[in-house]
Structures are given as structure tokens and as C-alpha cells.
Amino acid sequence: MLKKDRYHIAVAGATGAVGREILAILEERNFPVGDLRLLASSRSVGTELSFGGSEFPVEELREDSFRGVDIALFSAGAKRSKTFAPLAAESGAVVVDNSSAFRMDPRVPLVVPEVNTPALADHQGIIANPNCSTIQMVVALKPLHDVARIRRIVVTTFQAVSGSGQKAMDELLVQVRALLSFQEVIHEVYPHQIAFNCLPHIDVFFPTGYSKEEMKMVDETRKILNDDRIGITATTVRVPVFRSHSESINIETEKKITAQEARELLARAEGVCVLDDPADNIYPMPMNAAGKDETFVGRIREDESIPNGLNLWVVADNLRKGAALNAVQIAERLIR
């Protein structure tokens, strides 16, 4: 990418939860924004969003929205990405897309900067941001994979409702209030009540019984780590937490790695914060990860049922590291 002092940035899906988070992170990290174009559906036209002490109008996402744009950060859903991301790339922008539209396209790099930044060199105008639950898992596992080579991963996720958007967050709040007031509970976003409940159901189910979210974790992890030999199985669960995903991860490695060795490796890893002192009630929790950039790892212990196994508990803010922050970090790598 051409080196500049300032860059013309477009944010597609600017009024959504992730879009707003992208704007906040660009400002927090002093990204060298020159011009800023905020794009969304026609329903949002006329809305203004704050950035850098100024108000910017939201424009309708159109085919000609990307003239002069250097970097386009997309969080507008897979359907709009499939339509508009290629047009943005044709206009000369580099697209960082947060949807599932291009993740498994062999021509499109799937990037977590702490894990596989070199993949950016092969981009052809579009770069994919991985699924939120995949991002935090590979950040935690890459340092261990480099040293001991992971053979198998068994992961169960506990995913916050913000992963389904603002309507899901509103639904959880309304349901909690209704239950505490002994009123009828209504569900629209999810097939069942989410308040005080857990749903082992994220995205659609395949005939195999696995959900689309579970298979995203399988396929994306192999692509990011560039290792199709890893056996991976996932169960993804929606829980009544507003923000931050948690994951229980069990790995089997080729080379023996102790819990203490894992702690030391992770303590030195970029983007990782180890919180692992159960005796003093220190371990990662969603409420502490919310609003933070790090991927938090704790409950590190050896799996006594196999010779080379480890268990980990991994928590990260799904709107930040799981989406907006990762996209901005990719943009930062692009302009270096």
C-alpha cells in the first residue's frame, strides 16, 4: 500500500455495534485518518456519528461509495460484502471484511495479526477478518502450536449475545426485566428465551448435527494456522452475557508441554494476558474482559487423561478483539 501521512477511510456498516466500535478504536489508537466516509443502509442516512471531535454524516452504501478510499472497513453483513467489497477493491481500496463472505476463499487472506501477519502480503484487495470465537482461540493457541504442534482441539464456547447484534442485547435486557417483574417473556431474536438460559445453538444446523458457527471454528482455525492436519471439534453455546466470549479449550500436542511452560509461553505472547491463580480466585471472566484489547487466558492445567494434553479457559471482548480491534490492527499492519 502507498505510504501516506493520512488515509481516506470508509466504514461500511458504521451504525452497527461493530461499526461504532471500529470508529472508537480508530480514534483511541490515533489511526492516521485523513478523510472519513461513514456508510450504511438507506435507513441510516441522516444520522451523524462523532469522530475526532467532529460529526460525520452517514451516507448510503452505494456502488460509487469508494472513490478515493484507501482502506474500507466492512461490517455490513455477508450479503452486502459480497456485493460491495469487490467494487471497493476495484476502486483501489483495500477491504478488511468482518463478515463470513470471503473467509474460506483461497484467494483471500484470513488474518489475525498476532498469528499470521505474513499472509497479508498475498492480498488481492480483500482481507477477511475471522469469526470472533476463532480469533481469540488462535491468539491463545498459536504460541503453544509453534512449540509443541497441536494435534487436536476440543473447544466449547460460551458466547455473549452481542455476537448477534444490538437487537439481541436489547432482547436479553427486556427479558431480564420481564422475569424480575413476573411478566411474560417474549423472544424474537433467538428461538428460545436467552435470559437465565443457555442455547447450544448458534447459526444454522447442518445435517451432520454441527452448526455453521461450529464449522467456522474448525475451518478457519486450520486456515489461519496453515495446518489441515489439526483435528478440531467444537460446540458453540449462546449464554446470557452482554459482552465477551468465553471458551473452554482442550488441546493434545505432539510434544509434551507442561502447564507452567504454557503459562510462560503465553505470558510472552503478543496480545495475551495470563490470569491464572485459582487459589486467589484469579481467572478470566467476561465482565473483566469487556472493553479490553487483550485475550485473557487462565485455568491452565494439564489434562491427566492423556500424555500430552492441556486445558485452558480463554476470554476476550467479542466486539473488540473478536471484530473491530482485529480489523483495525490489520489496517495498522497494512500502512506500516
Q: Which residues are catalytic?
A: 132, 245
Rounded Cα distance, 159 and 245, in Å:
4
Give the C-alpha separation, 7 to 31, whole Å: 9
Q: What HEC string does 61-72 produce?
A: CCCCCCCCCCEE
Q: Decide the pairing of beta strands 272-274 and 33-40.
A: unpaired
C-alpha cell at 172: 436479553
3-state SS record for the chain: CCCCCCEEEEEECCCCHHHHHHHHHHHHCCCCEEEEEEEECHHHCCCEEEECCEEEEEEECCCCCCCCCCEEEECCCHHHHHHHHHHHHHCCCEEEECCCCCCCCCCCCECCHHHHHHHHHHCCCEEECCCHHHHHHHHHHHHHHHHHCEEEEEEEEEECHHHHCHHHHHHHHHHHHHHHCCCCCCCCCCCCCCCCCCECCCCCECCCCCEHHHHHHHHHHHHHHCCCCCEEEEEEEECCCCCCEEEEEEEEECCCCCHHHHHHHHHCCCCEEECCEHHHCECCCHHHHCCCCCEEEEEEEECCCCCCEEEEEEEECCCHHHHHHHHHHHHHHHHC
